[in-house]
Structure 1
Amino acid sequence: METIIRLFGSWQDFAALLVFLCCWMGYEPVVKRVSQKSGVIFKDLTIVRRAWMKEMVIRSFKLYDSNLIGHGVNSMSFFASANLILIAAVAGAIFTEDLSYTSVHALGIDTSSSALFLMKFGLVIVCLARGLLNFIWALRQTNYAVAAMGAIPENVDEKTGQEFSAAVSDIFEPAMSNFSQGVRGYYFSLAAGAWLFGPLPLAIASVGATILLAWRQSRSQAARGLRRMRELLEDHPYPTRTRPIYDGIVEPEPDTAPQTAATDNQNARSQNV
């Protein structure tokens, strides 16, 4: 206990940090367990994305899919850049020589212990750094998924098409999961920043961020809409259409040669007249 008090200044700070770590690290495992019993965005969106991959495999014109993937890549790049800027800003606040503890204390921030003060800023950087790594890994996995999508053969039977869609989903799904983890890091970075104002604000902000995330996962309008979408997809047999090759039927191309010859003869007669 004496070591904790010497390091953190008080046992309240240590307890608040434990609450934060439990909320931050325990949120996703709890959501995954809850999603097995009731509908949440995490589970519903997985089913929706897998349905998308099944449709993508049989879609001849994939410009629609490439636009959606491009939107996801742009979002990941934006958040990764924003994370990097925030990390640089917080690190600059820590390592700048002009940092005035008197000015910071005027904002209501506890500066009684310089080590604890730097530790609070360090926690914010750790949250942002983990989010940055999540975004980078999500971007790399999305690039892998794009390569896999481009390698899908044009003419495949139904069983092979389902196998290809499952393989692409296994690459694409972790990318989206890491993207969600990176976005979630912003919530807990704000909660970590509350530690600057004391242990109680840190504990309240940590629990509040967890409750807000849980509500958005299960009770928000988007969650209800995705749950309804999942139910429709489960009731609807997809892929919605099949190529003729699936049934062993290849539609012949229309023979336009006789029509072209007749048109040329008619034009020749008109010129002679």
Structure 2
Amino acid sequence: MDILLKPFTLLPALDWVAMLLFFGSWVAYALFAKRRAAVQPTVLATTNRWRWHWMLQATKRENRIVDSAVLQSLSASPQFFASTTILIIGGLLAVLGTTDKASELVREIPFAARTSVLVFDLKLVLLTGIFVHAFFRFTWSLRQYSFGAILVAAIPDTKQIATDEERVAFADRAGRVMGLAAETFNDGLRAYYLSFAVVGWFFSPWAFILGTLGVLAVLYRREFQSEVLGALRQGLT
């Protein structure tokens, strides 16, 4: 029994509370945002409706160079973040190899928590895991945008689409793929935001807790109450 409980003694109780709050809030907010979008439109849900209109209009255009250019622009964002994330992960792994010097440097910062090297390593591992998760989300988003590009390239000629039902069916299918790509990219960005809360843990568990709550407040405001949301909702039926 003592062996099973020994890992829990590595951190003070407040640190465990901060970690549970962090992961619990992350999962809870993701579920809340997904379900709340059915009642109160979010930026993601609203832009998904514009993506549907975009795909519907693409079926009516003979020249789809503009659509290809927009798709290339959209896929550039997850590609940039995926490349950046790899650099961040490499930097964090390099710090893990020199934790003695890094932990000494953190101790010299005013108000920073005095912890052992093992606990410092744990914080770095958590931060690295978050960016690994973000990397997988960004790369999956990039692949989904490539699937969307294939769908756009496969749109039949405007003269070959006989009915409006066929246009709507294609818009539903292609718009769904584009929406999933955007949703996956949003998950990666959310991980980036929450990583700043983990940085607060190097100072104190209270900073970790306050950082988690602060990041969630920012995410909620931007997804549900931002000015850009009101602008995007204009013109939608």
What TM-score comes out, normalization by structure 1 length? 0.79
Q: 1:209 aligned to 2:215? A: yes
Q: Does 1:143 align with 2:146?
A: yes
Is 1:114–2:114 an aligned residue pair?
Answer: no
Aligned to 1:61: 63
1:15 is matched with 17
The question of whether the paired residues in 2 share the 8 Å contact of 1:54 and 1:161 is answered with: yes
Q: Which residue of 2 aligns with 1:90?
A: 92
Counterpart Cα distance in 1 of 2:103 and 2:172: 56
Q: Match for 2:139: what amino acid?
A: I
Q: Is the 8 A contact 1:77 1:139 kept in 2?
A: yes
Find the aligned partners of 2:126 and 2:102 in 1 and give their Cα distance: 20
The 3-state SS of whatever aligns with 1:171 is helix
Does the residue aligned with 1:233 lie in a helix, a strand or coil? coil
- Which residue of structure 1 aligns with residue 170 of structure 2? 164
Structure 1 position 27, deviation (Å): 1.6
**What are the residue-to-residue correspondences of 1:1-273 with 2, within 5 Å?**
3=6, 5-8=8-11, 10-96=12-98, 99-108=101-110, 109-154=112-157, 155-157=160-162, 158-228=164-234, 232-234=235-237
In 2, the alpha carbon distance for the partners of 1:102 and 1:128 equals 24
Aligned pair count reads 230
Query: Superposition RMSD on alpha carbons, in Å?
Result: 1.8
Per-residue deviation, 1:98: 6.6
**d(CA) in 1 for partners of 2:106 and 2:17?**
24
Give the letter for the 2:115 counterpart. S
SS of equivalent to 1:99? helix
Paired with 2:92 and 2:102, the residues of 1 have a C-alpha distance of 15
What amino acid is the match of 1:75?
A: S
Tell me if the contact between 2:144 and 2:177 (Cα under 8 Å) persists in the aligned partners. yes
Higher Cα Rg, which structure:
1
1:5 Cα offset (Å) = 4.6
CA–CA distance in structure 1, aligned partners of residues 124 and 151 of structure 2: 41
Counterparts in 2 of 1:143 and 1:215: CA distance versus 1, 3 Å:
same
Determine helix, strand or coil for the equivalent of 2:101: coil
Report the Cα offset of residue 197 of structure 1.
0.9
Alignment match, 1:249 = none
Q: In structure 2, do the counterparts of structure 1 residues 100 and 162 end up closer, same or farther at CA, with 3 Å as the change threshold?
A: closer
State the secondary structure of the residue aligned to 1:58: coil
Q: Tell me the secondary structure at the aligned position of residue 10 of structure 2.
A: helix
CA distance in 2, matches of 1:194, 1:78: 26
Contact persistence 1:191–1:206 (CA under 8 A): yes
Deviation at 1:140, TM superposition (A): 0.7
Does structure 1 conserve the Cα–Cα contact (< 8 Å) formed by 2:42 and 2:223?
yes
Give unmatched runs, 5+ long, in structure 2.
none
Query: Once the 2 structures are TM-superposed, how far is the Cα of residue 226 of structure 1 from its aligned partner?
Result: 1.4
Runs of 5+ in structure 1 lacking a partner?
A: 235-273
Partner AA of 1:66 in structure 2: S
Over the matched positions of the two proteins, sequence identity in percent amounts to 24
Query: What CA distance in whole angstroms lies between the structure 2 residues aligned with 1:204 and 1:70?
Result: 38
Q: Is the 1:32–1:42 Cα contact (8 Å) retained in structure 2?
A: no
- Looking at structure 2, the residues matched to 71 and 181 of structure 1 have their Cα atoms a distance apart, in angstroms, of 19
Q: Secondary structure at the match of 1:189?
A: helix
